[in-house]
Every structure is written in structure tokens, then in C-alpha cells.
Structure 1
Amino acid sequence: MSHALLWLPLLAVFIVLAWLGWVEYRKLEHYRQWAQQFEASKYDIAAVLGQQGDRLTWGRPTRQGIVNLQTCELSTLQRVWVEGGGQRLETERDRFKGTIHLVLQTTTGECYRISFTELPLALAWRDRLAGKIKGEFA
């Protein structure tokens, strides 16, 4: 009896890990279906992002699907930069603490912040978008 009680917490941990794996699998499956409509796209636990022509679309992945979808036209962008911990990041060697955001500023002054978990990926998207907008990038 005592041996069974010792293994019970291990069984509970296994069940929780299996459930978390299923949740992440569902998120990825929803992303795969969603991303088929885009020329380029990215997925991470923070956000999804897709580009089709002159349109950027992003949102948050959940097991029910992509939620909080927002869209922006590249023609309305004036500036684009990467921010981490409240400071602008230029290279992968920059030190920072906090969340990474790709910041899009429109000609009307409105700013959109798209979350990233990896700095190199955020910098690559910044460079990709900078070549397509008429404004500047930092």
C-alpha cells in the first residue's frame, strides 16, 4: 500500500505532462491551418504572425485557435524596430531583460507590439519588413 502511495504523485505528474503536450499539439495544429494562407509566418508561444502581400496579421495561439487577431497594412507603416526590456535592440548581442517585441509604428502614430520569444527571429522579421515599408527602421 505504501509503495502505491509513493508512485501516485509520479502518475499525477505524468498525467499533467501528457495534458500539457496535448494542449501544445492543438495550438500547433491550429497554427498550421491558419498559416497556410500566408507567404511567410512565425509561431512561438508568445504570438503568431503572418504576412500575405501588403498585409500583416498576428494573434495569440490557444488550444481553441488563434485569438485576438489584428491586421495592419504595410503601406501604413512608418517605422519598425525591435524592443526588449524597454530599450531598442539592434543585434543579437544586445543585453536586455524582459519581453521581446517587434514594434510597428503607423503614419498616424499608432504602435503595435508583437511578442517574440527569440531575438534573432524578431530581428529577421524587422529586416524583412524594413525592406517593404517606405519609412525608416531602427
Structure 2
Amino acid sequence: MERGLLWLPLLATFIGLAWAGSAEYKKLEAYKVWADNFDQAKYDLYSVIGYRNGQITWGKATRKGIINLQTVAIADLSDVSLDIDGQTFADIDPENLDNLPSKGKAALSLNYKTDKDSTKIPFTQTDLAAKWVNYLQKFVALGI
């Protein structure tokens, strides 16, 4: 009887891990369906982002789908930059991504041509965020 009670917390832990894994799998599947509509898309723990036809769309992945979707046209942006712990990196050399801080809160910052406040899209990986900045800056420079 005592041995059975000792195994009970372990069983509860495995059930919790299975539930968490199932929830993450459902989020990834919802993202895959959503990402099919974009030329370029990324999944992150904090957010999802996609680009297609001069439009950037981002939101948050949940088990039931993507929520809090927002879209902005590239033509409305003056600049795209990378913020890491409040420090802004506008001109990022794709060859020297090692010069960026590897730790810290990274966010893609969309700066508008109007007086509207910039929008920050959070990332967990600074190198992935830097690649997205370089990718989007090409389109901002062209104005499309």
C-alpha cells in the first residue's frame, strides 16, 4: 500500500507532462494551418509572425488557434529594428549576428511613418529576430 502511494506523485507528474505536451502540439498544429497562407512565417513561444504581399501579420498561438491577430502594411512602416533589453539595433550585419547579445528580451520593433507608437513583437531567440529584421528591412527599403 505504501509503495503505491509513493508512486502516485510520479504518476501525477507524468499526467501533467503529457497534458503539457499535448497542449504544445495543438499550438504547433494551429500554427501550421495558419502559416500556410504566408510566404514567410515563424513560430515562437511568445508570438507568431507572417509576411505576404506587403503585409505583416502577427498574433499569439494557442491550442484553439491564433489569437490577437494584427496586420500592418509594409508601406506604412518607416523602419524595422531589433530591441534587446531596451537597446535598439537598426543596422544588423547578417554576417556578424554573433555581435548581438545572445540573452535578454528580444522584440521586433515596427516603426510607423505616422506619429503612431512603434509596435513590438516579442521573440525568444535574438538571432531569429535579427534574421527577421534583415528580411523585413529589404521590403521596407523598397516600400512594398
With structure 2 as the length reference, what TM-score do the two structures score?
A: 0.88
Mapped to 1, the partners of 2:115 and 2:34 lie a distance apart of: 29
The answer for the alignment partner of 1:134 in structure 2 is 141
Bigger helix share = 2
Counterpart AA for 2:108: L
Mapped to 1, the partners of 2:27 and 2:75 lie a distance apart of: 30
| Deviations 1:20-79 (CA, angstroms, capped at 9, x unpaired) | 000000000100100110000000111000001100000001111100100000011101
Mapped to 1, the partners of 2:119 and 2:6 lie a distance apart of: 50
Instruction: Note if contact 1:55-1:71 (Cα within 8 Å) is conserved in structure 2.
Output: yes
Give the CA deviation at 1:134. 3.2
The answer for the alignment partner of 2:105 in structure 1 is 99
Instruction: Note if contact 1:103-1:113 (Cα within 8 Å) is conserved in structure 2.
Output: yes
SS at match of 1:37: coil
Mapped to 1, the partners of 2:22 and 2:98 lie a distance apart of: 33
Relative to structure 1, the CA distance from residue 101 to residue 132 in structure 2 (aligned partners, 3 Å threshold; closer, same or farther) is same
Give the CA deviation at 1:94. 2.8
SS at match of 1:32: helix
Unaligned runs of 5+ in 2: none
SS at match of 1:131: helix
Structure 1 stretches of 4+ moved >4 Å: none
Instruction: Note if contact 1:85-1:96 (Cα within 8 Å) is conserved in structure 2.
Output: no
The answer for the alignment partner of 1:73 in structure 2 is 73
Query: Does 2:119 align with 1:112?
Result: yes
Unaligned runs of 5+ in 1: none
Instruction: Note if contact 1:84-1:96 (Cα within 8 Å) is conserved in structure 2.
Output: no
Percent of pairs identical after alignment? Answer: 41
Relative to structure 1, the CA distance from residue 108 to residue 56 in structure 2 (aligned partners, 3 Å threshold; closer, same or farther) is same
Q: How many residues align?
A: 135
Mapped to 2, the partners of 1:2 and 1:70 lie a distance apart of: 55
